[in-house]
Structure 1
Amino acid sequence: MSQAKLAFDYSIKDAEELLAHFDAINTNPPPANAEVLKRAGLVMALTAWETYVEDRITEAMNIRLGAVAGSYVGDFIHKKLHQDLKQFHNPSSDKTKRLFQEYVGIDVTLGWTWANTDPERARKSLNDWISKRGDAVHRSKPINNGSPQAHLIRRDELEKVIRFIKELVKATDANLDANL
């Protein structure tokens, strides 16, 4: 298991705790401000994924560059990776695939297989969740002019995305461990 996976296991707890806080205050009817906890949970879950990817590619590069660590070539590649990671936002399946293929020569998305999920379905789900995270980050809840607005993310969806991201990290880590 990678250090990136260990760090992820710790950071995903933020999303789980936000869900638990939502559950704790969710009465009938729920308080008007309870929805913010679900949006924040979505953001935290996908931020944990983004951080995992950044940490894991760095870890993989340290393995790949072991023989040239500290040399001009090793330093050059590390600097390029660091620059690329500064611009690595919204870690969709395409961006994640490109990053790992470019730096370590592995299509990590091919290993995104677990119960009832194949790589194509995992890529689509990740992209959908990343898009929804963008909505949660850049669009606050809409102004209500009388009729109630649907919440951006339902409680069961937040639970589902947390479970999905955990499986995605487990599959990615296993694929990289087997191929590095």
Structure 2
Amino acid sequence: MSKSKITFESSIKDAEDLLGHFDSMPKPPPENAEVLKRAGLVMALTAWETYVEDRVREEVQARLRVVNGSYVGKFVTGRLEDELRRFHNPTSEKTKKLFFDFLEVDVTAEWEWQHFDPPKVRKTLDELITKRGDAVHRSRPATAGAPPAPHLVKREDLEKSIRFLKGLVEATDRALAML
């Protein structure tokens, strides 16, 4: 198991804790409890983003072990760090490009587990990244006299997202272990 996966497992607990807080609220939960689900989705996808950054860094460092400290080692490490500073919203395509550019591996081709094949995983991840952007940048506007808008993140959606991201990290780690 990679160090990055261990960190992810610790980080995803923040999203699980937020879901737990939502579940522990009286039923029906107060209207402002919706923020816990949005925050949970943001935290879950932040755990994924951190995993991707840490995992590519971890694998590149392992491959550069022989040239560590040399011009080549410093150059590659510097380029990776520059790329990671610009790496946000790790969609399937951005993740594929990052791993391919630095490790010459298409991790997305190995994203497969029970009920998920690579195209479905890529589509699901990209939809979650879009939803995270909405959760971060858009709250539900209150319109006087109108019924409240539906919640952006439903309880079941957050639970499924957490489970999906755990599977995605497992599949990514498995793909990189085959190198």
TM-score of Structure 1 vs Structure 2, range by shorter chain: over 0.9
TM-score, normalisation: structure 1: 0.97
**Distance of 2:19 and 2:136 partners within structure 1:** 17
- Verify: 1:62 aligned to 2:81, yes or no: no
Residue 142 of structure 1: CA displacement? 1.8
Residue 26 of structure 1: CA displacement? 4.3
Residue 93 of structure 1: CA displacement? 0.1
Residue in 2 that maps onto 1:150: 150
**Distance of 2:143 and 2:80 partners within structure 1:** 44
**Distance of 1:117 and 1:4 partners within structure 2:** 23
Structure 1 residues 22-171: aligned runs within 5 Å: 22-28=22-28, 30-145=29-144, 146-171=146-171
The answer to whether the 8 A contact 1:15-1:44 is kept is yes
Aligned partner letter, 1:108? V
User: Which 4+ residue blocks in structure 1 deviate beyond 3 angstroms?
Assistant: none
Deviation track 1:95-146 (CA, whole Å, cap 9, x = no partner) reads 0000000000000001100001000000000000000000001112222332
TM-score, normalisation: structure 2: 0.97
Structure 1 unaligned segments of length 5 or more: list them: none
**Distance of 1:144 and 1:108 partners within structure 2:** 45
**Distance of 1:26 and 1:17 partners within structure 2:** 16
The answer to whether the 8 A contact 1:26-1:34 is kept is no
**Distance of 1:2 and 1:12 partners within structure 2:** 15
**Distance of 2:138 and 2:26 partners within structure 1:** 23
The answer to whether the 8 A contact 1:12-1:162 is kept is yes
Residue 42 of structure 1: CA displacement? 0.3
- Verify: 1:174 aligned to 2:174, yes or no: yes
SS in 1 for 2:89: coil
The share of aligned pairs that are identical, in percent, is: 57
- How many correspondences in the alignment? 178
- Verify: 1:5 aligned to 2:5, yes or no: yes
